Amino acid sequence: MQLPIEWLPARGAAEQLILLLHGWASGAQDLLPLAQALRAEFPQAAILAPESPDTADAGRRGRQWYSIESIADPGVWETRVGAALERLEPWVRSQQRRLGVGEAATALGGFSQGAILALQLALRHDGIAGRVLAFGGRLVVPPSLAPRETTIHLFHGSADRVFDAQYARDALEQLGALHGDATLDIAEGVGHEVHPALMQCALHRLRNHIPLRTWQAALGAVRSPGPESGHAG
């Protein structure tokens, strides 16, 4: 895959890795404003936006991660997403190795079709990234398990006419019922786009959200008896 956007820290090694996946009939450059916002906030992060090698359906300009022809059939859609993940998963791991950044310090973001892939990759390979930033996406099918090592952040416009915001609400509810760690931000009046308001929500979540697994580990440490527990002083 080509890398139209590959920004590395000006000095020193990368402390975080942020991977951004474009939408259908689109390209990496369409995520440039998001990449710039993330770079300003996290200067020690490596920020990569790859471009799918496949041209979009029906002669449309831009690229696609999978064809959207006939995906009204859920089985066809799920199969195509699975095939795309078989290419994407080894690529993500190769970038982690190349840049020396672990899974927990990786954030996998995407818009629309790219968000769908980010979500499904986290569901299929728990912990491949510490965070998922899904803009204007949805789950392909209701999950049977929620990731334990990945926090999922959903960002959606209330006026999205491609994927209704209810899909994001449903995903939050489904992941919560499975004891997953997920958040949802909805921007009123915003359509199917990576709107600046949603970018700000993403920066806020990355800066301030403490993953559920961190809370659970801390609570477990507090509740565990110390070495002197049960002995009279």
Model confidence pLDDT, tens digit, residues 184-204? 999 999 999 999 999 999 999
Residue 218 clears pLDDT 90, i.e. is over it: no
What would the DSSP string read from start to end of 33-50?
Answer: HHHHHHHHH-TTEEEEEE
**What confidence tens digit (pLDDT) does each residue in 162-186 have?**
999 999 999 999 999 999 999 999 9
In a domain, 71, yes or no: yes
225 pLDDT band, cuts 50/70/90, is very low
- CATH number of the domain that 93 lies in? 3.40.50.1820
| Cβ–Cβ under 8 Å, residues 109 and 142 | no
| pTM for the structure as a whole | 0.92
In a domain, 183, yes or no: yes
| Average confidence (pLDDT) over 85-100 | 98
Measured CA to CA in angstroms, residue 142 lies from 139, 170, 175, 179 at distances of: 7, 9, 9, 14
Q: What residues make up the domain containing 24? A: 2-223
Could you list the active site residues?
Answer: 112, 160, 192
Distance from C-alpha of 149 to C-alpha of 179, rounded to nearest angstrom: 12
In a domain, 233, yes or no: no
Rounded to the nearest 5°, which phi and psi values hold at 151? -95, 130
Q: Report the number of distinct structural domains present in the chain.
A: 1
